[in-house]
Structure 1
């Protein structure tokens, strides 16, 4: 029988034991490392990067002049434009499909 848990991936976030600026993002079911979040300070701005642990490619990144900035544009790998994330924003994804003329989404 198909379960909704089969199509949804849950992640746990754990601060890296040796570096507080790194967060390991693991698949809750398998324990596999899915992403690494790295917070770093560069010359004139702060940055947070979401890294693929196998290839070390940056999947998403935000760069702001102040860590407390209300507007944080997120650059997603493969997209030319940024997604603006404000403190009052909710960031999420919606998946949908149609089956027997009914539309389902979550």
Structure 2
């Protein structure tokens, strides 16, 4: 099944806010239902590094790039504000190029 991986920084000083949002997301089915409606299975990873913390998102589905576009266009205002503050994500800006798959151990 096609997969897309995205990486976003967790901006300095925003870890507590990020963790609070993740705790909220995990406590409700609304977030999962939005991913199901977009046709993807999302997995979210936290990668701590000496250079800073990163959010790694994988989306798996028939067309994860289209699902990502749908998710971005239907994001609630509260989550847009959070994503802007915690990750520096501007949902109104032109999207950056999607990641390029470099290696897959399963040809």
State the structure with more CA Rg.
1
- Give the TM-score normalised by the residue count of structure 2: 0.26
Bigger strand share: 1
Question: Greater relative contact order (Cα 8 A, min sep 6): structure 1 or 2?
Answer: 2
- Give the TM-score normalised by the residue count of structure 1: 0.26
